[in-house]
Chain A
Amino acid sequence: MRHARRLFARLKNLFGPGRADRELARELSAHLTLLADEFQHRGMSIEDARLEARRAFGGVEQAKELHREERSVLWLEQALQDLRYAFRSLLKTPGFAAIAMLTLALGIGANIAIFTVVNAVLLRPLPFQHPEQLVRVFDDLRGAGAQDVGMSVPELQDLRDRSGAFERISAVWTVSNALSGGDHSDRIEMLGTGFDYFQILGVNAALGRVYGPQDAVPGFSEAAVISDGLWKRQFGGDRNVIGRRIRLDEDGYTIVGVVPPDFRHPGKTLAGDVEVWLAAGMAADPMPMPIVRDRRLVPGAIARLKPGLTIQQAQLRLNALVAQLTKIYPKEYPAATKWSLRLEPVQESLTGSVRPTLIVLFAAVGFVLLMVAVNMANLLVARSSVRMRELAIRQALGASRARLIRQLLTESAMLSLAGGLAAILVLTLTKTSLLALMPADLPRLAEVQFDARVIGLACALSLLTGILFGLTPALHASRTDPNQDLKEGTRGGTASLRQNRFRGALVATEVALSVVLLSGAGILLHSFWNTLRVNPGFDPNGLLVTRIWIPSPNNPKANRYLTAPPLAAFSREVLRQVRMLPGIQDAAMGGDNSVPFVRNTLALRPFSLPDDPDSNQKQRSAEVASVNPDFFRAVRTPLLRGRVFTEADTDTTKPVILVNESFAKRYLSGHDIGMRMNYDRKDWEIVGVVGDVRDDGLDTPVAPRIYRALYQDADSNELAVFLRSASDSGLKQAVTRIVHAVDPELPVYGVRTMPEMMAASLARRRFSLFLMAVFGALALFLASIGIYGVMAYAVSQRAQEFSIRMALGADARDILLLALRPGVVLTLAGVALGLAAALGATRLMASLLFGVSPADPITFLAVSVSLALVALLACWIPARRAVRIQPVVALRS
């Protein structure tokens, strides 16, 4: 109580310290008067009494000082004093304060922005109970060079019952689905799971219930769980939605629950967030029967590790299981395929692909802040040389060096805190538009937000930056000799040699830092350029794609497009009608995996070549797509050998297949046309070889690929109409209308032009390039300001020297060279230093590069030259001024 009371009294004294001081002064003078009275009473003269009173009292100033210490919190009082002083002195130079705050706000703001993303995507644990126990399970066939090939149902059961690694495990697969209702069907994103899915994640429904083990049936359970988004969009947020019947791919389901709004499936999706969750037992229709071990039906699995088991220990148990199963089933797991099971933390498999990009951006933005700090230090040193006199006076009046440093640091910390505050303010205001800049396929994008950690970082970063850029100039400025500086100050403030050298070092550092940043930006630019120059293997211009989902009901007999004839009939009818639209040059139909640049669910599928004696030893795999006879002509992919499909290739004729060039090169060594292939339990004949298409993205190597004939075997879950036309105005609506006219039950989606899809596939690259370019430009700008500032100052300082030289006969060229030299030396030193650092830095970016070596000579040359040019310009402007000095004027002043 008494301490609290005292603390309160002391803190109160922080505000309005003047009142307490006046009161004390009055009291002390009263005290001295009483003492003097006493001495006078003892017979002293007035004068003597007064002197004696002072003596008896002791130091009045000490008493005041002690009193102040006792009544208030001294360091806090001084800090407040420093703050007020800093505020006043910054107000006196509003231009400096504004520029400083702006650059700081830029530097700190960029850091906070990137960190916010890094925090949400990489650092923050997934929003589930014990997220560290959540893993993805992948099947690899390393002998065939194939990863994530999916698992068979018996394997899934073994993992659950025999591995001893998991508490629970569930299959997961993303598919499109047709949600019927009203006059047409919508394509939605569905996640198929096992019955333990929600228990693994530990997620409960916000409304109703989630399905669980009690719902288990051999096929699909009727219980459907929907997303908050679908609930609001399709059902208007109606709380009575529980128990409603919905039709998905023509089957009836009952909505049992709605998941919380912030719940997202922690895995890759096809085109957006999952909207419906369905569970299946994987032991009945629509799963192909019979269930066999070598049919990898389950695309992926998610699991929760047994409590207390580390991921390494679990991996060991899986390795043991693999060894055991390989021994029991040698036919299903040939040794040559090197079948293995791999565990990956869910968080890593979700965000692993963006990790390198984010880390590089985070590093780059750190460099930007470093540059801002160096630039600020430079500005402050320049400023402190102007303030030399003020500091000298303060020191002469008794300010200790520590106090001076503290005061200067207060000033810089105040600046950077203000900058940080401004940054947060701007970021909060522009959050929505900044988020729109980010590639839409960034995982966990919805979780990006300011949290305590981000705010904490912003404050820490601001303070740290303030101290970083404030400390050196403060140490520097406070190391003054009052005598010398007062004299110098009156003469008009020439900075010492020491100071110039220091600023030079700062500028060289700035140049070096900007070389690093520009190299990063340059190398990304070069690799982006390379990406754009890649031949996609088809002509994307004027190509419009319209996707159609073919519902696959749980009862295969209910699937109207299960066999080739109806599918071919539908395709032919749609094509016949779209060809009548105005301006259509070409039209074709593709099946599964025929659309380039979209995230396909496909994995590499195994096949064998009976004619190839080696084939039985080696497991081979390739991507599989299906297309109609018009496809290659419409997309302008060249036929290299043999023939493409014809209308005559139907389900009654001999099964034929096409392969791409990569396939032929990798597996067929010369003999390709007429070769037999065994794939999907059937024999096929290779009738043609077509050119490679960069289906998985311009920057991804082409995989060996098999094309099946759409009209021959209808193993497609989706169709895509490819239209080539001069202009696509109104075309999108027209195609949708035609498809719905032919079959109103089929949902149409993803109507986009090929250039749009290519752009989307490059979104991440463009995003990181854009940011790096911004950072690089910022760096260049800061460096040139730094060089300019130092050079301009140096020239103004040497005005007298130049005048004397001119008076003695130096001509303009001599002076120009003389004035330029220090700047050129600094720049060259900085560039050399920066290049060395950049070589190390770009090596860390290797995974982001395409077709460029991390030590790309073009980039480094271009960066060095452009930086040298900018620096030269920044030096040249003040150097010109040196030439124009009027000797008479300069010498007189």
Chain B
Amino acid sequence: MSTEGKSRIQVLQGTLDLIVLRTLCSMGPQHAYGIAARLEQVSEDLLKLNQGTLYPALVRLEQQGWIKGKWDKTENGREAKYYAITKAGLKALGEETQRWRQLSSLVEKLLSEEF
């Protein structure tokens, strides 16, 4: 466990959780690969992340009871674990979105302040 890795996760943690929740909310149940592909697509490759880093976020969200995983088949007949947002997750998404907006507007305001 290098300190470098730790700090990166910490920076991403809240954000990544929020993004995953949002993705699952808008796309419906999705597997990890699907979420990763969606993120790359939306961010137009700006957000370059190893797909493996999704897993800690997923287990965290699942342990908090915000998403729930279930094994299923893809349209090509491959097996995959599909994560769906739960009722608690929807509620949390609302709250977290609200908090994120407050935070980002505050940061925006501070950054645009003239000296």
Contacts and interface: CB of A to CB of B under 8 A. Distances in A.
23 contacts: A2-B64, A5-B65, A6-B60, A6-B64, A10-B63, A24-B55, A27-B55, A31-B31, A31-B32, A33-B78, A34-B78, A37-B78, A57-B50, A59-B52, A62-B50, A63-B53, A66-B56, A69-B1, A69-B56, A70-B55, A70-B56, A70-B60, A71-B59
A58 B52 contact: yes
Interface residues of A, number: 29
A710 B5 CA distance: 97
A29 B88 CA distance: 29
The interface centre, meaning the residue of A2, A10, A30, A59 with most chain B CB atoms within 10 A of its CB, is A30
B25 interface: no
A38 B31 CA distance: 14
A63 B65 contact: no
Contact of B78 (A28, A30, A57, A60): A30
A57 B49 CA distance: 9
Contact of A5 (B5, B33, B64): B64
Nearest to A24: B55
Interface residues of B, number: 25
Interface of A: 2, 5-6, 9-10, 24, 26-28, 30-31, 33-35, 37-38, 56-60, 62-63, 65-67, 69-71
Nearest to B9: A66
Nearest to A62: B52
Contact of B51 (A2, A6, A26, A56): A56
Chain B at the A interface: SS class: helix
Contacts of B52: 28, 57-60, 62-63, 66
A37 B77 CA distance: 11
Given A5-B63, A35-B51, A56-B51, 12 more contacts: A2-B64, A24-B55, A28-B55, A30-B80, A31-B80, A33-B78, A34-B74, A37-B76, A37-B78, A59-B52, A67-B55, A69-B56
B55 A34 contact: no
Interface in B20-65: 31-33, 37, 50-53, 55-56, 59-60, 63-65
Contacts of B32: 27, 31
A27 B36 CA distance: 14
B79 A30 contact: yes
Nearest to B50: A58
Closest 8 CB pairs of A and B: A58-B50, A63-B52, A70-B56, A9-B63, A34-B33, A58-B52, A71-B59, A66-B56
A28 B52 CA distance: 8
A24 B53 CA distance: 13
Contacts of A24: 55
Contact of B81 (A30, A37, A58, A59): A30
A28 B53 CA distance: 12
Contacts of A28: 52, 55
Contacts of A35: 33, 51
Nearest to B57: A70
A13 to B, nearest CB: 9
Contacts of B81: 26-27, 30
Contacts of A58: 50-53
Contacts of B37: 38
A400 to B, nearest CB: 11
Contacts of A31: 31-33, 51, 80
Contacts of B74: 34
A6 to B, nearest CB: 5
